């Protein structure tokens, strides 16, 4: 599976080394056995570091739509673009949940709740791997890779129950979606490297979850030859031990390990079978486009044919962007903006086109204009970027609204002039983060603080002191503090996350009411930084100890669960989001579903078995619908809109679960006055805990409470089970 030399007779594939191919990672072709090789390319928002491809809204925005269809459509459109470029494997989705609130790459993933992250991972993979249209997907990074600082030395110390119930959840759903590959992470887990942790790779992933695809290492996360092979690693990326070196842990060395008996030949056959199995699963052996770009030299006429793969994906990107926007505050019906608006001010560089062009900061990070993704390998290459200034001006022209703006966050005089007088003043603030490959303003990937960047808070206060209709728009990688939130002149707050290339259009559609906001917060926004379960990353700056120890002491209490368990009131809870209309819920009923006899027998056998059977955690009986939670939703307002009812479950007290956990949601569209019946499934798995003694999912005895709510701190309807 690896090595830079080609004399590795036992290997079915050979990684060519980082700069020796044209993709982020590459497996050489082996024409003698009819294998055309593999091109692996980042990343989670589209085809990275190429040209004529789209940049989609970030993972965290996909999650904030709470819309399975849109998330799947996003995956499919991205899959089509990877395929069009001849990339066999898309290095995403990334699904590590928000834990430490400063975590630099959290924006690539799907928010703070394991169930939401699981649903988003499942749909993204199903979309990316659409037969005949898509490519192989990679669930990354396995596992407990929640901060950037010291990511290649740190040990994430997580107990077995927390690991299963929180961090494994999106990976379990990925395997249910038939994900081709899982990328093991840089960090150690409980003192053992992610890419040679046999308990997790052979044990949890390949046995409990029955994963039949292949495990690839993160770039240079491969730590040893024999150790990695025996622990369950199947592909070494990018091939060399350190980027630029010519030696590999595998390649010739793997051949040697088999010859000298350290690694059984069957293990190498297993690696090859898994890699080729994924290749066949996606039917890539015939008719798959040739790789037609060079990620390291886009101007090389020999290797880049500039294939345009964007199709009409911009329409979907615009729609997902709008669907992902969360309306946090809306007093005096400040929004939607009226077409009769006489004049409007746009304040802050977040309104304006980035000064270095749309791709000036993709690798290095930073903000000098509208922010629509973070930095690092999770970025894409913008074909264009519609800023709010451009989109709002277009709209203003139709309405004969006068527009004024200031793009310099430090120019206090102009800000004061522009803010004074207009009927609405829109202030744009942002907060950035990314991968530790770049340090921006002293931020090592992770955020040094969770406040708005570049004078943001000062700017908001200044505008609010001058304009009684101040509307704040936030483009951020994660939660920020909003010390000004209760200022009476701040009439509205729009949480826009990271919208991708159609940012200005998506936002304008929501601001003017062409798109009724329905996004929901995928994490909690706290009043104070210290309110979070893990307010700070592990920030060791010294070389001692060589392996910083990061204990996951909050255990199951991630995100809203911590706030509930500790009676801390959030500023805006997980799941929160306003609409231009209103919804009411009624008539809750829990209906038992029919169960096949076979599944009841399997359930019984599972309970009695005293070994972990392969795939036992994804067994059908465990995940099939056993109860339907049904209720009516009515649009009681005056315009059409989408609602997202959430289903939380409170476990019997003895189970030791958090006060409530998310177990279902559905996004529905309703005309004014219309009612629909929503039905949310519950399985044995949804009501189980990971029992560390018996090493299986166990549904605790006792009464469960089912809660239908608008957000994590809300209760609309309840039932017991
Ligand atoms: C990142 C991965 C990425 C890989 C290849 C690593 O630094 O952690 O997410 O896929 O580089 O670019």
Residue nearest to ligand 1 atom 7, measured at CA: 219
Residues with CB under 6 A from ligand 1: 24, 42-43, 91, 140, 218-219, 377
DSSP state of 199: I
Ligand 1 atom with least separation from CA of 186: 8
Residue nearest to ligand 1 atom 2, measured at CA: 218
SS (H, E, C) 75-87: HHHHHHHHHHCCC
User: H or E element: which one contains 174?
Assistant: helix 169-176
Residue nearest to ligand 1 atom 4, measured at CA: 219
If you count them, how many residues does the chain have?
A: 721
Ligand 1 atom with least separation from CA of 140: 9
SS (H, E, C) 99-158: CCCCCCCHHHCCCCCHHHHHHHHHHHHHHHCCCCCCCEEEEEEECCCCCCCCCCCCEEEC
DSSP-assigned states of every residue in 338-363:
PTT--EEEEESGGGS--TT-TTTTTT
SS3 state of residue 597: helix
Q: Which residue has the tokens 């959290």?
A: 106
Distance between CA 112 and CA 572 in Å, rounded? 14
In this prediction, residue 281 carries a pLDDT of: 94
Contact 574, 712 (CB under 8 A): yes
Residue nearest to ligand 1 atom 3, measured at CA: 377
- Give the residues across from 671 on adjacent strands: none
Roughly what angle, to the nearest 10 degrees, separates helices 114-128 and 68-84? 40
SS3 state of residue 464: helix
Q: How many CA atoms lie within 13 A of 641 on its CB side?
A: 26
What are the mean pLDDT values of the chain's consecutive 10-residue runs (721 residues total)? 33 61 92 91 96 98 98 98 98 96 97 98 98 97 96 97 98 98 98 98 98 97 97 95 87 95 98 96 93 94 95 98 98 96 98 92 79 95 97 97 98 98 98 93 94 97 98 98 98 98 98 98 98 94 89 98 98 98 98 88 78 90 97 98 98 98 98 98 98 95 98 98 95
In the reported structure, the alpha carbon of residue 377 is separated from the centroid of ligand 1 by a whole-number distance in angstroms of 6
Residue nearest to ligand 1 atom 11, measured at CA: 219
Distance between CA 167 and CA 252 in Å, rounded? 35
Distance between CA 222 and CA 248 in Å, rounded? 10
DSSP state of 708: E
Contact 404, 321 (CB under 8 A): no
Residue nearest to ligand 1 atom 8, measured at CA: 218
Residue from 38, 149, 218 to probe ligand 1 pocket by mutation (most atoms less than 8 Å from CB): 218
Q: Write the CA distances from 44 to 55, 131, 376, 380, integer angstroms.
A: 10, 19, 11, 8
In the reported structure, the alpha carbon of residue 183 is separated from the centroid of ligand 1 by a whole-number distance in angstroms of 9
Residue from 19, 219, 242 to probe ligand 1 pocket by mutation (most atoms less than 8 Å from CB): 219
- Give the residues across from 181 on adjacent strands: 138, 214
Strands (E), 180-302: 181-184, 188-189, 192-193, 214-217
Distance between CA 140 and CA 136 in Å, rounded? 13
Contact 235, 218 (CB under 8 A): no
Ligand 1 atom with least separation from CA of 377: 12
In this prediction, residue 2 carries a pLDDT of: 41
Phi and psi at residue 567, to the nearest 5°: 50, 45
Q: Write the CA distances from 16 to 1, 168, 180, 395, 636, integer angstroms.
A: 10, 31, 21, 50, 60
In this prediction, residue 613 carries a pLDDT of: 86
Does the annotation count 67 as an active-site position? no
314 CB contacts (<8 Å, ≥6 apart)?
54, 501, 502
C-alpha dihedral sign at 48, 49, 54, 58: positive
In the reported structure, the alpha carbon of residue 96 is separated from the centroid of ligand 1 by a whole-number distance in angstroms of 13
In this prediction, residue 595 carries a pLDDT of: 87
154 CB contacts (<8 Å, ≥6 apart)?
147, 187, 188, 538, 547, 548, 549, 550
Contact 374, 365 (CB under 8 A): yes
Ligand 1 atom with least separation from CA of 238: 5
In this prediction, residue 16 carries a pLDDT of: 75
| Sheet of 326-330, strands arranged across | 326-330, 490-495, 470-476, 424-431, 343-347, 402-406
In the reported structure, the alpha carbon of residue 152 is separated from the centroid of ligand 1 by a whole-number distance in angstroms of 12
In the reported structure, the alpha carbon of residue 99 is separated from the centroid of ligand 1 by a whole-number distance in angstroms of 19
Distance between CA 507 and CA 606 in Å, rounded? 50
In this prediction, residue 110 carries a pLDDT of: 98
Residue from 377, 435, 436, 446 to probe ligand 1 pocket by mutation (most atoms less than 8 Å from CB): 377
Ligand 1 atom with least separation from CA of 138: 10
Q: How many CA atoms lie within 13 A of 300 on its CB side?
A: 11
Distance between CA 99 and CA 114 in Å, rounded? 11
In this prediction, residue 18 carries a pLDDT of: 73
User: Closest Cα partner for 523 from 490, 560, 557?
Assistant: 560
In the reported structure, the alpha carbon of residue 140 is separated from the centroid of ligand 1 by a whole-number distance in angstroms of 9
In the reported structure, the alpha carbon of residue 628 is separated from the centroid of ligand 1 by a whole-number distance in angstroms of 40
In this prediction, residue 11 carries a pLDDT of: 40
In this prediction, residue 14 carries a pLDDT of: 53
In this prediction, residue 9 carries a pLDDT of: 31
Ligand 1 atom with least separation from CA of 151: 8
In this prediction, residue 578 carries a pLDDT of: 98
Q: Which residue has the tokens 């231009």?
A: 580
In the reported structure, the alpha carbon of residue 82 is separated from the centroid of ligand 1 by a whole-number distance in angstroms of 16
Determine which one of 218, 509, 550, 559 is catalytic.
218
556 CB contacts (<8 Å, ≥6 apart)?
161, 162, 165, 166, 657, 658
Ligand 1 atom with least separation from CA of 141: 9
């Amino acid at each position: 599976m690896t090595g830079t030399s080609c004399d590795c007779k036992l290997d079915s594939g050979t990684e060519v080394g980082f700069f020796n191919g044209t993709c982020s990672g590459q497996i050489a072709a082996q024409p003698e056995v009819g294998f055309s090789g593999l091109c692996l390319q980042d990343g989670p928002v589209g085809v990275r570091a190429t040209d004529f491809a789209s940049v989609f809204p970030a993972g965290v925005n996909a999650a904030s739509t709470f819309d399975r269809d849109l998330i799947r459509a996003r995956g499919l459109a991205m899959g089509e673009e990877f395929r069009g470029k001849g990339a066999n494997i898309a290095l995403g989705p990334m699904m590590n949940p928000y834990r430490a609130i400063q975590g630099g790459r959290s924006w690539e993933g799907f928010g703070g709740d394991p169930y939401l992250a699981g649903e988003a991972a499942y749909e993204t993979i199903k979309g990316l791997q659409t037969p005949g249209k898509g490519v192989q997907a990679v669930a990354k990074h396995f596992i407990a890779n929640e901060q950037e600082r010291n990511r290649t030395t740190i040990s994430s110390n997580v107990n077995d129950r927390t690991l299963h119930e929180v961090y494994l959840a999106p990976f379990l759903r990925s395997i249910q979606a038939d994900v081709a590959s899982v990328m093991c992470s840089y960090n150690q887990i409980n003192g053992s490297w992610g890419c040679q942790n046999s308990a997790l790779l052979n044990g949890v992933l390949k046995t409990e979850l029955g994963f039949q695809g292949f495990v690839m290492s993160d770039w240079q996360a491969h730590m040893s030859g024999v150790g990695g092979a025996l622990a369950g690693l199947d592909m070494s990326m990018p091939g060399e031990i350190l980027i630029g070196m010519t030696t590999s842990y595998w390649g010739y060395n793997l051949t040697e390990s088999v010859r000298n008996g350290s690694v059984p030949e069957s293990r190498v056959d297993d690696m090859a079978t898994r890699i080729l199995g994924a290749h066949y699963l996606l039917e890539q052996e015939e008719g798959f486009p040739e790789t037609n770009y060079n990620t390291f030299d886009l101007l090389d006429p020999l290797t880049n044919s500039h294939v345009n793969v964007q199709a009409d994906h911009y329409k979907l990107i615009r729609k997902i962007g709008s669907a992902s926007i969360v309306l946090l505050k809306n007093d005096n019906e400040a929004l939607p903006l009226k077409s009769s608006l006489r004049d409007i001010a746009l304040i802050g560089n977040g309104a304006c086109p980035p000064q270095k062009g749309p791709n000036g900061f993709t690798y290095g990070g930073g903000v000098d204009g509208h922010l629509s993704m973070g930095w690092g390998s999770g970025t894409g290459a913008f074909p264009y970027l519609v800023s709010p200034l451009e989109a709002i001006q277009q709209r203003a022209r139709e309405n004969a609204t006068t527009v004024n703006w200031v793009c310099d966050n430090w120019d206090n005089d102009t800000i004061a002039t522009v803010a004074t007088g207009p009927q609405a003043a829109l202030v744009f603030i942002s907060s950035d983060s990314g991968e530790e490959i770049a340090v921006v303003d002293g931020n090592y990937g992770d955020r040094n603080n969770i406040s708005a960047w570049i004078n943001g808070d000062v700017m908001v206060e200044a505008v609010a002191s001058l304009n009684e209709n101040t509307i704040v728009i936030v483009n951020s990688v994660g939660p920020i503090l909003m010390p000004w939130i209760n200022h009476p002149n701040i009439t509205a707050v729009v949480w826009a996350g990271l919208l991708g290339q159609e940012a200005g259009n998506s936002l304008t559609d929501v601001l003017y009411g062409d798109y009724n906001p329905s996004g929901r917060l995928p994490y909690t926004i706290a009043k104070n930084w210290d309110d979070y379960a893990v307010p700070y990353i592990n920030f060791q700056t010294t070389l001692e100890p060589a392996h910083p120890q990061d204990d996951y002491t909050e255990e199951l209490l991630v995100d809203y669960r911590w706030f509930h368990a500790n009676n801390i009131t959030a500023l805006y809870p997980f799941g929160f989001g306003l609409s231009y209309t209103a919804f009411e819920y009624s008539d809750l009923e829990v209906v038992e579903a029919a169960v096949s006899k076979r599944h009841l027998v399997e359930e019984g056998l599972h309970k009695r078995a005293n070994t972990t059977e392969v795939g036992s955690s994804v067994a059908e009986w465990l995940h099939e619908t056993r109860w339907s939670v049904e209720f009516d939703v009515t649009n009681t307002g005056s315009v059409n809109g989408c609602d997202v009812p959430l289903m939380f479950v409170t476990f019997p007290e003895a189970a030791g679960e958090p006060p409530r956990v998310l177990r279902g949601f559905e996004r529905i569209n309703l005309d004014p006055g219309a009612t629909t019946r929503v039905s949310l499934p519950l399985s044995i798995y949804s009501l189980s805990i990971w029992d560390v003694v018996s090493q299986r999912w166990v549904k605790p005895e006792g009464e469960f409470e089912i809660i239908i709510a608008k957000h994590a701190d809300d209760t609309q309807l309840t039932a017991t089970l």
